[in-house]
Amino acid sequence: MKLFFAHLYEWFGWIHIYSRDMSDFLKGWDYACVGYFALPWYLLIGWGMIIITLLIFALQYDLISSSRFSKGEHWELAALVVIIINFATAFSVPFVAILREMHCPMLKLTVSDCIFFGLSNAAWAFILFSLLSIITRIGNQNKD
């Protein structure tokens, strides 16, 4: 599963938006620079992205859609919340590691790496949120 999320966040090798060092850190390259023995951040952030997106989608679908907001407004608001929360989650993990120097000193991690990893996580969260919306809409049309 760790490799799945690694390939996903690295856009299956098509687009390299952050450094190889950031990728190694997120795969779990440890502080002593010996191997992949640290926390597998790809896996943890990947599952977090899925859970956060599902929770916000369920909240948007069941609670907010029955409120005073128009359907377009509540979908856009929920999508924005998904993007912001998932960006902040993915950005903060490597950024804190940089600030506290809690990574292998041989890895050259930068703030731009953190930003681009956060953008990658936000993009995949938005894609998942959109797919859930499309599947739900198709499912509701088939019931009618």
Give the pair of three-digit tokens for residue 44. 């943890």
Record the tokens describing residue 140, joined without a space: 């509701």
Q: Report DSSP letters for 49-116, one per residue.
A: HHHHHHHHHHHHHHTGGGSSS-HHHHHHHHHHHHHHHHHHHHHHHHHHHHHTT-S-TTS---HHHHHH
Instruction: Check residue 29 and give its pLDDT.
Output: 95
**What is the pTM assigned to this prediction?**
0.89
**What is the pLDDT, as a whole number, of residue 139?**
79
> What is the arithmetic mean of pLDDT over 17-30?
95
Distance between CA atoms of residues 34 and 97, nearest Å: 17
Read off the pLDDT of each residue in 59-82 and give the average, rounded to a whole number. 76
Q: 4 phi and psi, to 5 degrees?
A: -60, -50
Q: pLDDT, tens digit, for every residue of 102-123?
A: 999 999 999 999 999 999 999 9
Q: Is 110 left (phi over 0), alpha (psi -120 to 50) or beta?
A: beta
